[in-house]
Structure formats: structure tokens, C-alpha cells
Amino acid sequence: MPAPKNPFKAALRENRFQLGLWVALASPYAAEVVSGSGYDWLLIDGEHAPNDIPLLAAQFRAVASSTSHPMVRLPVGDTVLIKQILDTGVQTLLIPMVESAAQAEQLVRATRYPPHGVRGVGAALGRASQFGRIGDYLHTANDEICLILQIESKAGLAAIDEIAALDGVDGLFIGPSDLAADMGFLGQPGHPQVRDAIADAFVRIARAGKARGIMTLDLDQARDYRDMGADFMAIGTDVTALVRATTMLRQAFVGEATQTPKKNESGY
């Protein structure tokens, strides 16, 4: 029996746009609630949300039984963390702050078994192989891993062509908020110079034949990014959706002038 098929990776290969949402409440129960909302993929965040490997794994399991594909963002591209999260069954990873081809190559190798990489061979202990019940897991797992690398600095932009050229990199994800900060426009991910940089990055990523991803809380920006050619995109977070909905519900009941809470443009 081979490793389970990765529907998100298949969709990217078939040029089917994938719509997603950030999951950052660090709660398996909340993740399960969100997973019924109809998004193609959900990003379980280990960088800015208070998560560790067991909690990420629990949220992954909560989402995995739904029609939404669970993706995990680790806090850093560490080989040990990658090994641990892959053994829990995660097949799609987003790694933040990638700035060079050498770093990207190390990340590719961390997700592959030898001789193509350095992933530790302990699948029989993990959920990924159904605890050893998937007999051909070791020989088929590499093909179903989807590695997305996050570009969110001027150094990352400069290295896009080399990063995107690497086999094993399935997509590049632009982080507008951190990119804006690094460009001198802190809190202004929609700044025209940031937009121009993203548009140029999208062209270069597409030229390499890789998928283009991005995240925004602004639906007008989201439509703009889609028009630019985004192949997969997140349009919100569970945290901001909860803040907005609960605030507006209270305002509606007490008769306050209803205002949508101020748009949060901070770092994703």
C-alpha cells in the first residue's frame, strides 16, 4: 500500500486554484469547527500561534477528516521539527523566512528519505505510515510531500529564481506583511512598492513552473492577487474572524453604531 495521495499537491499540479484560511487559535476543537466551512485548505500555524508539535498534530487530525486539506507552518525550518511533524502524517509544509537557495535545498532534503534527503527512517512509529501498516510508505512518501517556502524579505526576493528552480520545491508563498516591513513600509502590505514587488515575484515564480501563494485579510487585495495569478491564497484567520464577529454581535445588540473592527494588517 502506498502513502496517501496529497490532494493539495495534485490540485497545484493541475492548476486548480485553492482557497484557504489561517488556523491560529491553537485548539483542535476550533480547528474542527473551521474545517467544516468549505475551504480547500487550512493552514495550522506554528509560527505565531502558541503551538508545539503535539498540539499541531492534534489540530492536523481534527482537520484531516474534513474536505479541507491541512497544511502546517512550522516556526522555523529545522530538520528535527520537520521530521517530527511529517511522522505525524502532515504532508504539506509551509516554512517561513526562506532567503537562499542553499537554505531551500536543505529544506527539500529534510522532507525526503535517503538517498534523496536526510529524513530519519522511523515511520513505523508514526501516524504517517498508519504505525507501520502502510507497507510501502518509505518508498512512496517523497512523492506526496508538498513543500511550500515562504518569501518575506528583500533577500528572499533576490533569490527567488534560484529557490524556485529547485526540484522538490512545490510552491513559493509571499508574506506581504514581513516583506513590507523589510522594505521599509511596516504595517503597509498594500503599499504600491510592495505590490509591485509581489507582482514581479509572481512572474518569476510562474516562469519557473512553481505555484504562487499569498495571504491577506483584505478582500480587495485578495482579488488583486488572484488577478495577478495567485494559485493558492488564504483570505483570513480564525482569530480575526472571531474578533470581528463577536464585536459586531455585541454592537448590534446594544445599538452602537456598527463598525467593522479596524483591519489588522500585522504579520502573516
Residue 262 lies in a domain: no
Residue 245 lies in a domain: no
Q: Give the structural domain span for 176.
A: 7-238
pLDDT at 215 over 60: yes
Residue 43 lies in a domain: yes
Residue 256 lies in a domain: no
Q: What is the band of 214 on the pLDDT scale with cuts at 50, 70, 90?
A: very high
pLDDT value of position 263:
55
pLDDT at 257 over 90: no
Rounded to the nearest integer, the mean pLDDT of the chain is 95
pLDDT value of position 256:
74
- Decide: pTM greater than 0.85: yes
Domain CATH number, residue 169: 3.20.20.60
Q: What is the pLDDT of residues 100-120, one digit of tens each?
A: 999 999 999 999 999 999 999
pLDDT value of position 161:
98
Helix 53-64, helix 79-87: angle, nearest 10: 40
Check residues 139 and 260 and name the one with the higher pLDDT: 139
pLDDT at 262 over 90: no
pLDDT value of position 261:
53
Q: What is the pLDDT of residues 157-183, one digit of tens each?
A: 999 999 999 999 999 999 999 999 999
pLDDT value of position 267:
53
pLDDT at 188 over 60: yes
Residue 92 lies in a domain: yes
Residue 78 lies in a domain: yes
pLDDT at 264 over 70: no
Residue 265 lies in a domain: no
Residue 264 lies in a domain: no
Point out the residues that are catalytic.
48
Task: Name the domain count of the chain.
Answer: 1
